Amino acid sequence: MLKEYFEDCKVGDRVVTPGRTITETDLVLFAAFSSDWNAIHTDREFAAQSPFGQRIAHGLLGLVTGFCLLSRGGWFHFWPASLVCITRLDKIRFLAPVFIGDTIRLDAEIVEMTRMREGNGLITSRMQVRNQRNEMVIAGRIQLQAGCRPADGCSDQGRQP
Amino acid sequence: MLKEYFEDCKVGDRVVTPGRTITETDLVLFAAFSSDWNAIHTDREFAAQSPFGQRIAHGLLGLVTGFCLLSRGGWFHFWPASLVCITRLDKIRFLAPVFIGDTIRLDAEIVEMTRMREGNGLITSRMQVRNQRNEMVIAGRIQLQAGCRPADGCSDQGRQP
Amino acid sequence: MLKEYFEDCKVGDRVVTPGRTITETDLVLFAAFSSDWNAIHTDREFAAQSPFGQRIAHGLLGLVTGFCLLSRGGWFHFWPASLVCITRLDKIRFLAPVFIGDTIRLDAEIVEMTRMREGNGLITSRMQVRNQRNEMVIAGRIQLQAGCRPADGCSDQGRQP
Amino acid sequence: MLKEYFEDCKVGDRVVTPGRTITETDLVLFAAFSSDWNAIHTDREFAAQSPFGQRIAHGLLGLVTGFCLLSRGGWFHFWPASLVCITRLDKIRFLAPVFIGDTIRLDAEIVEMTRMREGNGLITSRMQVRNQRNEMVIAGRIQLQAGCRPADGCSDQGRQP
Amino acid sequence: MLKEYFEDCKVGDRVVTPGRTITETDLVLFAAFSSDWNAIHTDREFAAQSPFGQRIAHGLLGLVTGFCLLSRGGWFHFWPASLVCITRLDKIRFLAPVFIGDTIRLDAEIVEMTRMREGNGLITSRMQVRNQRNEMVIAGRIQLQAGCRPADGCSDQGRQP
Amino acid sequence: MLKEYFEDCKVGDRVVTPGRTITETDLVLFAAFSSDWNAIHTDREFAAQSPFGQRIAHGLLGLVTGFCLLSRGGWFHFWPASLVCITRLDKIRFLAPVFIGDTIRLDAEIVEMTRMREGNGLITSRMQVRNQRNEMVIAGRIQLQAGCRPADGCSDQGRQP
């Protein structure tokens, strides 16, 4: 069911997404976009001599691709279409490396909801990025602001299509 | 001065980076890479009717491009070349929107250093991303693991070139 | 509701997607990927003198970005997760130019379903890409193959996660 | 010979292009640009269990890269430089999967030409995309509009450089 | 006419290509790919205060996009299909800045040809990149190695398709 | 030490950069950006039959990625922050092919400095791109213009942040 407003979510709502294989292409594209070309991500010779034995994905690459796997089922089957913006990231832990060829999934669950004044609410979700061996590679919390269901006659600008 | 090991850093080390203008291209590239095409980032018509009045950059786009501005002076003039990996993000706050055409800079400062067993240490830095009006748009903390200066005869695999 | 198998779809199922603004970035990326740098798409001087008066998006760019707007609500709220592959495009008509800055949406409707032997079926959808003035810019039909609900004990390899 | 106008083409004109190897990079870039991250294209684990046994390229990826191989010999050695725009795709059939590492070529032939009023004509070409084993993977027809040779004193805006 | 071998070229062969507008997207993509994010290319605030008054394209961006405009007419209508590789760049002069929105063309002419032993030859071309005001922005020479027409019974590995 | 002005450099200043592995992704991205899809760079079947036995990177790809490795230590620890623009490339020699998977480094040294009128100077550097076997693959000279230290009261527009 498509969620429209803050009220359409509840603590305990959960989704486990399909997977995305992290490729050498992803490492190069992320290095380029971010300008983080550190050798552990982009130098095969150096990485082979490192404790990891091979190149590893940037931690932020795993965060971005992992958290955004929510798109795969349609964002608004988990968070509401009245989503305004991201407000916080907390206790993000990078627990294990993501290697080229690993396939990651996201396990997300709403763990806290707070109604604010002025027709908005805050939704906090627990996020766990797991690889193909079901090892947790990144975990943490994300908080978003979303609009509440408008009372009669109220404007409704924030609702995403 | 190039920093080689954990011991070459100290609390209070600080850098303010050059700027990067966030362009429409960045929004499209980030939407593509992350698969987050939510309308507030990619639909000019919708965004014009939103409270923001225009498209806004993804929060994670600001995080990635902002934090990685450290590349501009050379990563290892702030963090040591023995950098192993990112371990934590804490208390990341998205404080103000980044619009197309805004130019962001990073103000980073080492605020905590903890020596670990096995020749590694943890370095925590306060990160502040600011726009061209000096408004803070993202703030938070990042923690990294880095190698200590090897004792005589020790191997030194972790040091980045 | 998430659709799992061919049987979960029916003629008349319809979706109208959120929009995506076609940017100069999209034209450059598509020219690069496709190697179609024809002047009407990439040369501002030439395009200004053409009957269009400005650069126009590649027809195939409109087709790809328009048809794939189905991702926005989650593919499998329209087509079933047992999707195998695309089989046909028919009667694709490029009806009006897409300019830089135009915002397109997709109006898709299932118009024909044919059960095949061997546990598969064909689903034909009418696709209409419209701009922000609700003008139809591309129209046509797409046919896909999808798996039927497996009988007891059958394998179920084709179902997408 | 460079073709300038509709009249410079004739039914039976044919070209077979050089090849392009479809890479993992192409799949990631196309998934990103189109927002089609379906698992059969981007999840190595899922694809290994599918009937295909591996990831397959998006059908539209094959269409775009295959048809645009015309750039390789110079578009206007096949179609005329007075090309205005694409008008139709018909009977596009996706006949066999394109795998990572396959090398595709295009075999194109003009099969129909219709003069229109107002100085334009329609050119229909049969398009066949073949892989390195000469298997036809995509076939169909594309129709374009192109300008006729201007009579004396006529303007000639539509001719591409 | 398609040129197959070294012998199919002669000093004085010349081509002037169609144009390509250099966009903000090109600057961002080139900064990303090259890792050259220097402020004059990517920081709107800094560039506005510079003598140029605005961001300028990287010199190497102009070189790459300008010289490769040869693709537009089909490489092998200027150089032969037996092209082996680039061997030299000489006297490359960056004469004027390329700004976002400028449209560049290439004027190329073969100025020297030297037959080598072992069935190869060297072809030197004068390259001039000009903008929409016909100002020369980059000029210089490029030298390539290409295969000669094989004698009877000789292998012909180097000929490009 | 960060160099601010022309006077902060001297002949003999030298840097050897960290490495970057040239990937299949880099070849595809460069082919796309440049529009140089010649078969030796992008067609695995053709390249396997060529004298190289495999695809080779574009010469200009090696030039761009190799020369810009200067970013890795921070541009302005080698050249001064008062850098204005690139003025010349001379005697660029492409000495050996770069294959997919090769890792390149740059060895750069300032070899000539000339003070100009109007507060600028020219800095010429010898550039050598080497692979993981320490073979020189590209060599040549680059000349840049940079600002001199301003006399008291002078404006200082050219200094990069």
B-chain CB neighbours of E25 within 8 Å are 23, 25
CB pairs under 8 A between A and D: 35
- Determine the angle formed by the axes of helices B59-67 and B24-34, rounding to 10 degrees: 110
Contact state of B35 with D33 under an 8 Å Cβ cutoff: no
Phi, psi of E114, deg, nearest 5: -130, 125
The CA distance from D145 to D142, in Å, is: 10
User: Which tokens hold the place of F105?
Assistant: 């480094």
Q: Does D25 touch chain B (CB under 8 A)?
A: no
The CA distance from C23 to B100, in Å, is: 13
**CA-to-CA dists, residue A79 to A126, A143, A144, A157, angstroms:** 13, 11, 9, 17
**Chain segment D45-69, per-residue pLDDT in tens:** 999 999 999 999 999 999 999 999 9
Band (A158; pLDDT cuts 50, 70, 90): low
Q: What local confidence, expressed as pLDDT, does residue D118 receive?
A: 83
CB B107 within 8 A of CB B67: no
Report the chain F residue with the minimal C-alpha distance to residue B75: F73
CB C141 within 8 A of CB C124: yes
Nearest neighbour of E34 by CB, restricted to F38, F39, F68: F68
Q: What local confidence, expressed as pLDDT, does residue F160 receive?
A: 65
For range B86-107, the mean pLDDT:
98
User: Which tokens hold the place of D8?
Assistant: 């410079």
| Alpha-carbon dihedral sign for residues D78, C44, D25, C158 | negative
Nearest neighbour of D74 by CB, restricted to E73, E160, E161: E73
Chain centroid to CA E46: 30
| Alpha-carbon dihedral sign for residues A126, A127, A133, A135 | negative
Q: What local confidence, expressed as pLDDT, does residue A24 receive?
A: 98
Q: How many CB atoms lie within 10 A of CB D157?
A: 15
The amino acid sitting at B131 is N
Q: What local confidence, expressed as pLDDT, does residue B158 receive?
A: 53
Band (A68; pLDDT cuts 50, 70, 90): very high
Q: Does F37 touch chain C (CB under 8 A)?
A: yes
| E47-E48-E49-E51 Cα dihedral, nearest 10 degrees | 70
Nearest neighbour of A68 by CB, restricted to B26, B36, B83: B36
SS3 F159: coil
| CATH class (in words) of the domain with range F6-147 | alpha beta
CB C63 within 8 A of CB C46: no
What is the distance in angstroms between the Cα of F33 and the nearest Cα belonging to chain C?
A: 5
Q: What local confidence, expressed as pLDDT, does residue B151 receive?
A: 78
Q: How many residues does chain A have?
A: 161
pLDDT reading at E147 higher than 60: yes
Of E66, E72, E54, E123, the residue nearest E93 (C-alpha): E66
CB D75 within 8 A of CB C35: no
Band (F67; pLDDT cuts 50, 70, 90): very high
**Residue A136: beta bridge partners?**
A130
The CA distance from D91 to D73, in Å, is: 25
Give the H or E element holding residue C143.
strand C136-147
Q: What local confidence, expressed as pLDDT, does residue B156 receive?
A: 52
The CA distance from F80 to E5, in Å, is: 46
SS3 C152: coil
**Domains of chain A by residue range:** 6-147
Residue C53 DSSP code: S
Chains touching chain F through at least 3 C-beta pairs below 8 angstroms are: A, B, C, D, E
Q: What local confidence, expressed as pLDDT, does residue F161 receive?
A: 67
D-chain CB neighbours of F55 within 8 Å are 21
Q: What local confidence, expressed as pLDDT, does residue E118 receive?
A: 83
The CA distance from F79 to F3, in Å, is: 7
Chains touching chain A through at least 3 C-beta pairs below 8 angstroms are: B, C, D, E, F
Q: What local confidence, expressed as pLDDT, does residue F85 receive?
A: 95
Residues sharing a CB contact under 8 Å with residue E37, sequence separation 6 or more, in sequence order: A35, B20, B71, B72, E31, F71
pLDDT reading at A153 higher than 70: no
pLDDT reading at F151 higher than 90: no
Q: How many CB atoms lie within 10 A of CB A1?
A: 9
Scan residues 75-134 of B and list those with Cβ closer than 8 Å to F. 76-77
**Residue B103: beta bridge partners?**
B21
The CA distance from F78 to B77, in Å, is: 13
The string of DSSP letters for D4-47 reads -SGGG--TT-EEEPPPEE--HHHHHHHHHHH----HHHH-HHHH
pLDDT per residue of chain C (161 residues) written in tens, 0 to 9: 789 999 999 999 999 999 999 999 999 999 999 999 999 999 999 999 999 999 999 999 999 999 999 999 999 999 999 999 999 999 999 999 999 999 999 999 999 999 998 899 999 999 999 999 999 999 999 999 999 998 754 455 555 66
CB C152 within 8 A of CB C102: no
Q: What local confidence, expressed as pLDDT, does residue C27 receive?
A: 98
**Chain segment A100-148, per-residue pLDDT in tens:** 999 999 999 999 999 998 899 999 999 999 999 999 999 999 999 999 9
Q: What local confidence, expressed as pLDDT, does residue E97 receive?
A: 98
pLDDT reading at D42 higher than 70: yes
User: Which tokens hold the place of E137?
Assistant: 């922005």
Contact state of D103 with F24 under an 8 Å Cβ cutoff: no
**Chain segment B68-89, per-residue pLDDT in tens:** 999 999 999 999 999 999 999 9
D-chain CB neighbours of A24 within 8 Å are 24
The string of DSSP letters for B4-61 reads -SGGG--TT-EEEPPPEE--HHHHHHHHHHH----HHHH-HHHHHHSTTSS-B--HHH
How buried is E69 (Cβ within 10 angstroms: 0-12 exposed, 13-18 middle, 19+ buried)? buried
pLDDT reading at A23 higher than 70: yes
Q: Does A23 touch chain D (CB under 8 A)?
A: yes
